[in-house]
Amino acid sequence: MAGSPRAAERFQVRLFREALGAGTSLAIVAENESGPVGFAEVSQDVETPSLRVLARAAVAAMGPVGALRAASRSLARRKVDLSAPQGGLHLVELQVVPDLRNRGVGAFLLACVDEYAVAQNAGHVSLTTATNNPARGLYERNGYRLVDQKTDARYERITGSEGRVLMVKPLGTP
């Protein structure tokens, strides 16, 4: 939605920093002897960042014209947005260094998220992702189940993904 992968990355980094600074998210980092190899961003705040925060991050990442273009494309995203259920934690982001994918780093990070969620007395962990995200298999193997799905033709034309899914993993705690 940001116009380019680099602009999208800059936008995500700005939102991530904002959430960490506001205390609405926690980062769990996986490392090996070479340094960081992946991270998970977890939030108890299931609300979307405010329009002010989104606009500031978009302008900083893409410039004013790019932010306006992204805002137009984000209308398609709104048609496939899914709300995380209350009473749990939300996995906002899970990233693993591409060369180390399918080597257990993602599963390790998900286990760390579960451990943190149980310590916080969360009843579940939820996530949203693209319908065609290859990591869906990882999530399913780790106990996440499909709860909802939304698709939209315009969103698919813009992103190449027909829509988004909401997946939830119950934790068996209150």
Give tens-digit pLDDT for 19-39.
677 777 889 999 999 999 999
Neighbouring residues of 63: CB distance < 8 A, sequence distance ≥ 6: none
Q: Write down the pLDDT at residue 113.
A: 97
**Is the pLDDT assigned to residue 88 strictly greater than 70?**
yes
Residue range 106-145, pLDDT digits in tens:
999 999 999 999 999 999 999 999 999 999 999 999 999 9
pLDDT band at 174 (very low <50, low <70, confident <90, very high): very low
pTM above 0.75, yes or no: yes
Q: Write down the pLDDT at residue 13.
A: 74
> How many residues make up the chain in this entry?
174
Q: Which residue has the tokens 């991530």?
A: 16
Report which of residues 93 and 3 the model is more confident about: 93
Q: Name which of 60, 61, 54 is nearest 78 in CA terms.
A: 54
**End-to-end distance of the chain based on CA atoms, in angstroms?**
37
CA gyration radius for the chain? Answer: 16
Query: What CATH number is given for 5-170 in this structure?
Result: 3.40.630.30
Q: Write down the pLDDT at residue 130.
A: 94
Residue range 42-80, pLDDT digits in tens:
988 655 665 666 666 667 777 777 767 776 667 777 889
Q: Write down the pLDDT at residue 52.
A: 67
Neighbouring residues of 85: CB distance < 8 A, sequence distance ≥ 6: 46, 124, 126, 147, 168
